[in-house]
A = this chain, B = another copy of it.
Amino acid sequence: MDVWGNQFTIEKWQRLVTEFLEGGNSAPIININPTDPREFDAIFLGGGAAGRFGAAYCRALGGRVLIIDRWPFLGGSCPHQACVPHHLFSDCAAQLMLERTFSGKLWFQNLNDKIVSIKSIVELFRIGRVGPHAVMNYQSKEMLGLEFVLNAEAKIINAHSVQVGDLKFHAKNLVLALGARPAVSTLPGAQLKGIFNYQSLVETLDYEPGNTVVVVGGGKTAIEYGCFFNATGRRTIIVARHQVMPILKDAESRSYTLKMMVEQGMEFLENAELINIQGDELGKVQAVSIQTPEGVMKVDSDFVFMALGERANTELVSQTIYPDLDDKGFIKVNHRMQTSIPGIYAVGDVTGPPMEMFKARKEGVCAAKNIMGKVSEYKATDYPDFMHTHYEVSWLGLGEEEARQRYANVKIMKLPPENPNGLDVGLPAGDRMMLYLMMKPRMSGFQKLIIDGDTRKILGAFHIGCGAKDGFQYLNYLVKRGLTIDELADMDELFISPSYFIQLCRLRAGDINFKDL
């Protein structure tokens, strides 16, 4: 299907992508400028975050690029199976926690003991995800002028040639933007119906899960999906091989985050492991056994969610070209995103963690620059981070413990303040936290700033609540450039701001030897 020269509206893309996804059309969607005589500077294999942004940047630099993707849309797994559904589920978790907390109060319905359908939310997503796909196809084609072949499996012929069906494409460089997928358990029974990961959940769930969910894993995905399952009203047990949430480095912030999850009824089994999966006669999971430090625990459940990390999608390259892989199977790259094979770059999840959007996109950009002759290096470091529980948890820089190891004079500013009632006080609170502030103050959040008292520079920031995540992007940029409490104190806060950092700093900034707050 040749789409070059036809301007499709977003609506039209929406219909088209739906049709292709539903299997109605297996033809490649070809958008190639037949009148451009130039050779491609690069072929991007994969049009997800890394590939699409890399290709767009190449094009912005004046290059000619081709994206080839197996899906009928650009944007990759994020809007189809990963970030977007996770954000939808996390929004549902936040909303459901609110409605459950205030059940029967004000205008709130009584949700106590009510189980909410997971299946209908997944089904909603399956339909709704096509909207973002359509926008990205429109943006890529009409606004960014990208050339692409979608809905097509590529075969790599050699370091400069790729085949798609009968079509052969040649380019000065190849960029492997192949992504990753969830690791699969090797435990017997892991293939039973009812054993899901984030990908299979949105693609294959076709029944309403029962009232008990087992989540295997202790990282972001486990916590994020676990909180959603919990919020639907189901018993949710997190089984983590070590500690849960090792990524959240500040002990106090971690403790608040955990405490709020426990209050929602989440159960955590740490230093525990799934050792057995039992199925019924129809091939569906019905129970699992978990080895815990206290012994073996059997849990009846028809819904087990595995969050075991990611594996690189390297099948495409492992048959013809042989770039060096690291010991976990990710493609090795240098800081210019070059693989071990000249002219072949790799970007995004296929090169390994962090599996984050900014890292994938910036690696794509880095490869694009190098391809276009601008020597450029990139390594994801000192980045802000976040995780959803029922809350948004955002952080940057150092936790208090590490800060104290590295700096002699660490100061802390936080809300709620250190006080004899502990957390049971009505601050902080900001947008979307006000009902908690008024009716259940301990649930209204926690935030903390970690400062070097000598240089007055911000070392770290943590926020559990709502509405601060966006700001952490900009705040991290400032902190990396040496932001001090005096500079923070001089900013203009938008009160009631979800983060109270500006105002807390202002209360202390006048003092050369300022104290904690």
- Cβ of A109 under 8 Å from chain B: yes
- A211 to B431 alpha-carbon distance, docked (Å): 27
* Closest chain B CB from A232 CB (angstroms): 8
Selected A-B contacts with CB under 8 Å, 13 pairs: A10-B419, A56-B510, A84-B437, A94-B432, A96-B107, A106-B120, A106-B121, A107-B116, A144-B507, A358-B492, A361-B506, A469-B494, A473-B499
Number of copies: 2
Residue of B nearest to A130 (CB): B426
Contact with B along A477-517 (1 / 0, CB 8 A): 11000000001011111111111001100111111001101
Could you tell me which residues of chain A, from 131 to 157, have a CB within 8 Å of some CB in chain B? 131-132, 134-135, 138-139, 142-144
- Cβ of A114 under 8 Å from chain B: yes
Q: Are B131 and A437 in contact (CB under 8 A)?
A: yes
Interface residues on A, range: 35 or more
- A95 to B109 alpha-carbon distance, docked (Å): 13
10 nearest interchain CB pairs?
Answer: A131-B426, A60-B510, A128-B438, A357-B495, A471-B471, A474-B474, A470-B471, A60-B511, A109-B109, A91-B434
- Cβ of A439 under 8 Å from chain B: yes
Could you tell me which residues of chain A, from 201 to 258, have a CB within 8 Å of some CB in chain B? none
- A134 to B107 alpha-carbon distance, docked (Å): 28
Residue of B nearest to A476 (CB): B492
Q: Are B506 and A53 in contact (CB under 8 A)?
A: yes
Q: Are B117 and A107 in contact (CB under 8 A)?
A: yes
Could you tell me which residues of chain A, from 58 to 106, have a CB within 8 Å of some CB in chain B? 58-61, 78, 83-84, 87-88, 90-92, 94-96, 98-99, 106
Q: Are A425 and B106 in contact (CB under 8 A)?
A: no
Contact with B along A405-448 (1 / 0, CB 8 A): 00000000000110111001111011111110111010000000
